[in-house]
Amino acid sequence: MSTTDTTGTAPDAVPDHRVARTVTDILQPRNLLLVGMLSLGYAAAGHWTGLLWGLLGALCAGIVPAGYIEWERGRGTWGDRHVVDRTKRAPIFFVILGSIGAGSAVMVLGGAPAGILAAMLALWAMTVVLLTVNTVWKISVDASVASAVVALLAAVHSPWWLFGYVMTAAVAWSRVALGYHTVGQVTAGTALGATTACAFLFV
């Protein structure tokens, strides 16, 4: 099948596609979790040592899974980090679950602040839902993470962080613009991320 549109222009050369590609790459889960977990860790501890717990959280929830995807890409398993084929995504979710689980265990043993541990458990539960839904429908992971990070920051810092949903909307738009998801899939992902934060509030 041709990779050009009806005008003969390659999709990635279309301005909207270039913008969408930039948005989805900059605001990918790994990057958002790094910033978000560091901030959550600091808030949970109330001082700089919380940044170390936040870094551990970011490592387990975002960086390790991203590293696994890059490793599989190097082996030729997937074309890029987006893994557009829903049926091939299960191993990623299992890596995320194992990584977050291991990180949570370290936090329990190390006496991490309750807030950062609760955030980890909320992300673990969110991943279980993503894995389950993914068996039948391609729900958006990027939208889920973008929504969860914003909502969690609003819960621990200030409701003003809810304006960060402008960023979540940008992520959702980029996923649809690039053809990776439908509007329904990014909407469901956004709702799941917000629900994750609601669960965090009751821990």
- pTM of the predicted model, to two decimals? 0.88
Residue 20 has pLDDT above 90, yes or no: yes
Tell me the pLDDT tens digit for each residue of 122-174: 999 999 999 999 999 999 999 999 999 999 999 888 899 999 999 999 999 99
Question: Residues 1-10: contacts with CB within 8 Å, 24+ apart?
Answer: none
Contact (CB, 8 A) for 60 and 103: yes
Tell me the pLDDT tens digit for each residue of 42-63: 998 999 999 999 999 999 999 9
Max Cα distance, the chain (Å): 60
